Amino acid sequence: MEIKSLSRPYELEYMEVSEYQARVHRKTYFEMVFVLEGSGIQTINDHRLPYASDKLFLVFPKDRHGFEVGEKTKFFFIRFNDSYIRTQEKEWVERVEFIFHNHDHTPGCILETRTDKPLVRALVEALIREQAAPNQEMVKQLINTIVTVAVRNIARGSGRAGGIAVETDIATLMLNYIHERIHKPEELKAGVMAAHFNVSNSYISEYFKNRTGQNMQDYIGAYRLKLIEARLRYTDTTLSEIVYEFGFSDASHLNRFFKKWKGMNPSEYRKGL
């Protein structure tokens, strides 16, 4: 299977085609695809679904992706890799991580809010205009705004977060609280969360499990692990930087945490990729 990579931190491409079938392939970068006009079939990880105009869909590193054009189609592709991500502010990096770990990697438009479709279209059209005489800062701001809109829609979208069903608004708020504070372990203690949500300290863990079907501390640990794995797999972040970012006391603390969940230390995991 063909593997595609980027030679630059980000890349924009406008494509207008009448008949085209892309072979299924893997990428080593993130890709956002907006359909300005046309229709056809998109394929991601063996799932097939029709596409149409004003749709935004996402492709992630390692996904198997292709498409078949039915009606003349105008695509706009936004591609960026980990070197682009590392140049952004921490909050933006966390938005990308939210997308990566809360989207189900299947075909389909991720724009759940009707008013966001014309907004994303306007942003894409602005990017197309910028290609004629690009202002790099403007281009980055436009890309990052589209990512922000994508995060907002995924958060609102399917009624699921981190792969588990959510039955009530309070449970959803708890999951969002965990995602936003995953780098601050002191704020994820049961007592702190109980006070924040005005729930009994002795009841909050039971409440979380009843509403989501998963133990709260297990969920926090699994979500933190996913983010650390992404750091090790897709970036050259050092172990010392991971220790600092995720609030571990030292490298030994990180090693113990990672080995508990993965059966190996972070260095061994990175070497095995």
Q: Does residue 177 share a domain with residue 113?
A: no
CATH of the domain at 62: 2.60.120.280
Domain identity same for 65 and 121 = yes
Listing DSSP states for 39-89 in one string gives EEEEEETTEEEEE-TTEEEEE-TT-EEEEEEEEEEEEEEEEE-HHHHTTS-
Long-range contacts of 214-221 (CB under 8 A, 24+ apart): 214/164, 216/174, 216/190, 217/190, 219/162, 219/164, 219/178, 220/178, 220/182, 220/188, 221/257, 221/261
Q: Are residues 113 and 221 in the same domain?
A: no
Domain around 258: 164-271
Same domain, 144 and 196: no
Give the Cα separation of 102 and 164 in Å (integer).
10
Return d(Cα 167, Cα 188) in angstroms, integer: 21
Mean pLDDT, rounded, for 174-186: 87
The answer on 20 and 82 residing in a single domain is yes
C-alpha dihedral, 183 to 185 to 188 to 192, nearest 10°: -120
CATH number of the domain at 198, please: 1.10.10.60
H-type helices in the chain, by residue range? 82-85, 90-102, 116-130, 136-157, 169-180, 190-196, 204-212, 216-234, 239-245, 251-262, 266-271
- Is 261 strand, coil or helix? helix
Whether 241 has a pLDDT exceeding 70, the answer reads yes
% pLDDT > 90, the chain: 39
Considering the chain, what is the average pLDDT of its residues? 83
Contact 33, 76 (CB under 8 A): yes
251, 120: one domain: no
Say how many CA atoms lie within 13 Å of 161 toward its Cβ.
27
C-alpha gyration radius of the chain: 20
Tell whether 19 and 94 lie within a shared domain: yes
DSSP string computed for 103-122: S---SS----STTHHHHHHH
Q: How far is CA 127 from the centre of its chain?
A: 21
Rounded CA separation 75/17 (Å): 8
Among the three residues 122, 155, 188, which one is the final residue of a domain in this structure? Answer: 155
Average pLDDT estimate for 198-202: 87
Q: Give yes or no: residues 207 and 237 share one domain.
A: yes
Whether residue 141 is found in the same domain as residue 173: no
The pLDDT tens digits for 13-64 are 999 988 765 655 566 778 899 999 999 988 887 788 889 999 998 887 777 7
pLDDT value of position 162? 47
Task: List pLDDT tens digits, range 122-172.
Answer: 999 999 998 877 788 899 999 999 988 888 888 765 444 444 444 446 777
- pLDDT at res. 252: 96
Q: Is the same domain home to 122 and 33?
A: yes
The answer on 28 and 128 residing in a single domain is: yes
Is the confidence at residue 102, as pLDDT, over 80? no
pLDDT confidence of residue 158: 44
Residue 161 or residue 96, greater confidence: 96
Residue that is last in its domain, among 113, 131, 155: 155
Quote the number of domains for the chain: 2
Residues 217 and 254 in one domain: yes
